[in-house]
Amino acid sequence: MIDLSRSLVTAIFAGCASAVVAAPHEPADYPAEVSPAEQDTAAMRVSLKDVDVVARVNHLSEVSRVDLAANPVKSSQEILRSVPGLFIAQHAGGGKAEQMFLRGFDLDHGTDINVSVDGMPVNMVSHAHGQGYADLHFLQPEVIEKIDFDKGSYDMTKGDLATAGYVAFKTRDRMPNEVGVEIGMHDYQRYRASMSLINNRSESMYFSGAFLTDNGFFDSPQHFKRLNAMAKYTKWNSTSRFNIILSHFNSSWNASGQIPERAVDNGMIGWFGALDASEGGSTSRTNLQFLHHVDLSDGTIVNSEFYLSYYTFNLFSDFTFQLNDPYNWDEINQKEKRMLGGGHVDLSNTFYVGDRMWRWAGGAGFRYDDIRDIALYHARKREIIGTYSLGDIGQSNLFGYAGVEINLGNWMINPSVRVDWFHFNYAEKTAAEYTDPGVGQAFVSPKLNIIYNPSNTVQLYAKGGRGFHSNDARVVVVRDGKDVIPETWGADLGIHWKPVPTVMLNAACWYLHMNQEFVYVGDEAVVEPSGKSRRLGLDVGLRWEFLKNFYFQADYTYSNARMTEEPSGADYIPLAPVNTLLAGLTYKTDRFSAGVHCRWLGNRPANEDYSLTAKGYCITDINASYTIGKLTFGAAVENLFDVKWREAQFATETMIPGDDAPVTDICFTPGTPFALRGFVSYRF
């Protein structure tokens, strides 16, 4: 039965691929056959010595290859922590997309950071819970080959939501035959398997799947379950590469939500307790992707990436308890289902001006979201008792971009421009008359990168550009097409320095201005103004390889975020990070690896006048593993010192039993206590 299934899946993928990219004959210079084990070994041996300080617009992504080799991503939560300066917070039982913080932004769940996997957007525009919602839980950590990222809005290929930056993941073309199991405290279990179905010089195909269950450390078990599955087929020859990727995930969970500080202080509930244990939800996503790369005879490189996704989301939350309805309480249900499709085609080539090689690049693409029954309901213990809003959304984005890299010896100048056109349709089904108004708007984003290499060990750079994030379609309709695309203007000045082959230093000072916008609050179905703001800060990073097998990394960030139209002292941006530090030390040989990593997030304002504080934390994690032949086993500890910390925090007006009037205080989700997990895997 296994052989029959393998043959059937292989035939389907191979048949699709051969119709698109089959070569009339096999060229002599096909890539040499590489086993998944050899691929892993090669990745592990990536070193700082292999990273050159050259005229490259996004140099930090090269450093990330070394980080990933030294510290492979071990869990879905760690995926985004791989980006220097990016902090995350989970506050809904493990199944909700993480809240993110970067460069003075509370990014919510992805409003100002563009996230993609193999060219497919992760962010959901006009989402039931929040604009730009980016749920990465469909991506298995084992399949990640590369993490590309940059901060700011200086890349012409990254448009909507790329204001604070972008993160782009690339998955592996080959996977080993492997099974693994991970068991931990709080009833944590994860089972995974991967199977290489084809592995030769011109083709590869694999399947990777995982199932996770976890009751969590809360007093009310979260009964978290998640299933992941992915198949990837690759066919290539000397001039082209073609991929088909099919992936699916679904999850369900219960959550203890955000609890008021005073409810813990007065003993009503414990640190890991809940006021409304009926919170939680379910979600799923199924993706089909086609990727094609070809080198034409004239030297032109063409990259094409297309995708189609089906997505569902169903979330129950209670943020205010008895504030609006003392009898039924304030639980809400946010729900949607959508089809998401799109793609883009990029072209690039080099040419000479005198003896200088220049490079031009350009591309165009589209995205369409068809969102059905996007809703905000009033609920009681997960039963719907009222409707706040219910409608359908159609949102289109057409875009094009072009740029040139001008090589002037030690200087490289990269001007570019991007043009986006958006069209929004929203039909509110609860209105007396069923209407479907449409609004469209174009947006132009000029960008400029200037790089100077005085030597082969130093790179100085200046970057500037206009960025944006689109607004929720429901805001666009209410505002009659005004403030459709809030703009940002940003600039970076920085340096990459490699004083010796085993040390890499980077530093950047930056500035970002954001115009006023009107925000759709998905938890309340209302539109609120958000004034102009400015952010500035400093990023510093260090990478150091020493004593052959040790690797040290550290990233410090400082951000100063303020509203520009509010009086001093009342101009703080709630939850904007101020000081952050990520540091880690890894020891690695061919068989043994061990590491210790710390993440520190300093105190930050929880409200506009800083009368409430979102308290900081410092968490230490350790891990170790050992390989004997085909068997690898190890353990990991999160929160080694069992620090009592708050992972997510909000200043929220609430009413709970015993209150005579509404109270605004800190509502928080407690962070993970000491948690030990052991794992074992076997390759065959």
Q: Average pLDDT of each block of 10 consecutive residues along the chain (684 residues)?
A: 39 40 36 53 64 69 77 75 88 84 90 96 96 95 93 96 95 97 97 97 97 95 97 96 98 94 96 95 98 94 98 97 96 98 97 91 98 97 96 97 95 97 92 71 97 94 96 82 84 96 96 79 66 94 94 97 93 95 95 96 96 97 96 97 96 95 96 97 97
Q: What pLDDT, on the 0 to 100 scale, is given for residue 640?
A: 98
Contact 461, 453 (CB under 8 A): no
Three-class SS state of 66:
helix
506 in Cβ contact with 495 (< 8 Å): yes
d(CA 77, CA 86) in angstroms, rounded, equals 12
Instruction: Specify the residue for token string 């990016």.
Output: 86
Cα–Cα distance measured from residue 60 to residue 80, given in angstroms and rounded to the nearest whole number: 15
Domains annotated for the chain, with CATH where assigned, are 2-683 (2.40.170.20)
Contacts of 105 (CB under 8 A, 6+ apart): 112, 113, 163, 164, 535, 561, 576, 577
Q: The pTM is what?
A: 0.92
- Give the residue among 508, 580, 586, 509 at the shortest CA–CA distance from 543: 586
Q: What's at 505, amino acid-wise?
A: L
Strand spans (E) along 409-516: 411-428, 438-455, 458-468, 487-500, 503-514
Backbone angles phi, psi at 135, to 5 degrees: -95, 105
Which SS3 state, helix, strand or coil, does residue 42 take? helix
User: How far does CA 321 lie from the centroid of its chain?
Assistant: 30
Q: Which two tokens stand for residue 380?
A: 């009681």
Strands (E), 91-223: 99-102, 105-106, 113-117, 120-121, 123-124, 133-134, 144-151, 165-171, 178-184, 188-199, 203-214
Residue 407 CB neighbours (<10 A): 19
Counting Cα atoms < 13 Å in the Cβ hemisphere of 442 gives 5
CA–CA gap between residue 159 and residue 149 (Å, rounded): 14
Residues in the chain: 684
Q: How are beta strands 165-171 and 113-117 bridged, if at all?
A: parallel
Q: Tell me how far CA of residue 70 lies from CA of 35, 117, 481, 585, 590, in angstroms.
A: 20, 22, 49, 9, 12
